[in-house]
């Protein structure tokens, strides 16, 4: 399956930024308290001038009105959504927050983004920082071999489908989302190997963006890949505070002390206890 090279949004970092963090695939949910607390502590303590959340902040999102889930009897879910918004609001007081939709939370809308004081980015986006161009994406659109998922993605990213879905009662949307999650899990288990990002497509995106480094999540396979010709691909980790060992990793981009010194990327593993 081929994938057209998308239009690329551009974000120019302010001159006073020195440290930028990238995280993704936290899959926050009521049952993942350890992950939530690790994320909360991280946002409280990070020295970053900006944090970029590259998709799947939430395990599932069925509409911004999910925060009012108490009306449908799901008080725990309502409380959790409010807690997440409060964590983001607090972090936004000292750190710029950017959000890019993932395959689990593509329905996060303007109301929640405004309440959380996050700025939404187009997928993909080029970040101009420290004299370099960094291409940011969730990564799912580059997994070209996963044709079933890409067909599903095209359907649910259609504005008409989203309008129709969001018009349904909240309980009905939650039931549909639960079914989608089960189908996704079964699809993942049926495959004999994890489908990765297509290297040729990644190189094409980088060329179109005039960037040399691609940063993405989605695959849950944190690694560094040499794409040849000076091009690189950095893959973010998922977060799971209940795993053994627990996972909570940040990819940090820092300017050198000297103007001529290139920015450096480093992986930081955070405690989940």
State residue 71's pLDDT score.
44
User: Higher model confidence: residue 30 or residue 191?
Assistant: 30
Mean pLDDT of the chain: 89
Please give the model's pTM, rounded to 2 decimal places.
0.92
Q: Tell me what the mean pLDDT of segment 104-115 comes to.
A: 94
CA angle, corner 56, sides to 34 and 136, nearest 5? 125
Sequence ranges of the domains in the chain: 9-269
Better-predicted residue by pLDDT, 184 or 40: 40
Which superfamily is assigned to 9-269 in CATH?
Metallo-dependent phosphatases (3.60.21.10)
What is the pLDDT, as a whole number, of residue 78? 63
> Where is mean pLDDT largest: 16-20, 74-78, 264-268?
16-20
Which stretch of 22-36, 83-97, 134-148, 242-256 has the lowest confidence by average pLDDT?
Answer: 242-256
Instruction: Specify the pLDDT at position 261.
Output: 61
Backbone dihedral angles phi then psi of residue 49, each to the nearest 5 degrees: -75, -25
**Statement: residue 221 has pLDDT above 70:** yes
Question: pLDDT per residue over 183-216, tens digit each?
Answer: 766 666 555 467 899 999 999 999 999 999 999 9
Cis omega (within 30 of 0) on the bond before 124?
A: yes
Strands (DSSP E) found in 73-131:
96-100, 119-121, 125-129
């Amino acid at each position: 399956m081929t994938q057209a090279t998308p239009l690329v949004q551009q974000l120019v970092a302010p001159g006073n930024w020195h440290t930028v963090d990238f995280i993704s695939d936290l899959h926050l949910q009521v049952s993942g308290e350890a992950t939530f607390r690790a994320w909360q502590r991280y946002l409280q303590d990070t020295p970053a001038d900006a944090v970029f959340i590259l998709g799947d902040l939430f395990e599932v999102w069925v509409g911004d009105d999910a925060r009012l889930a108490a009306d449908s009897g799901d008080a725990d879910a309502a409380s959790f959504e409010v807690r997440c918004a409060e964590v983001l609001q607090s972090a936004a007081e000292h750190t710029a927050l950017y959000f890019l939709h993932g395959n689990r939370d593509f329905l996060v809308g303007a109301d929640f983004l405004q309440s959380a004081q996050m700025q939404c980015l187009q997928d993909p986006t080029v970040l101009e920082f420290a004299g370099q161009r960094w291409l940011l994406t969730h990564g799912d659109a580059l997994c070209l071999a996963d044709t079933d998922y890409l067909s599903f993605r095209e359907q649910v990213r259609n504005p008409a489908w989203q309008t129709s879905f969001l018009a349904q009662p909240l309980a009905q949307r939650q039931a549909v989302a639960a079914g989608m999650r089960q189908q996704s899990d079964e699809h993942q288990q049926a495959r004999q190997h994890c489908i990765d990002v297509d290297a040729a497509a990644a190189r094409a995106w980088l060329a179109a963006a005039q960037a040399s480094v691609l940063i993405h999540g989605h695959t849950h396979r944190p690694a560094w890949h040499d794409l040849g010709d000076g091009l690189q691909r950095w893959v973010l980790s998922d977060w799971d505070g209940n795993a053994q060992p627990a996972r909570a990793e940040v990819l940090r981009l820092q300017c050198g002390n000297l103007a001529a010194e290139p920015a450096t990327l480093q992986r930081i593993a955070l405690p989940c206890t």
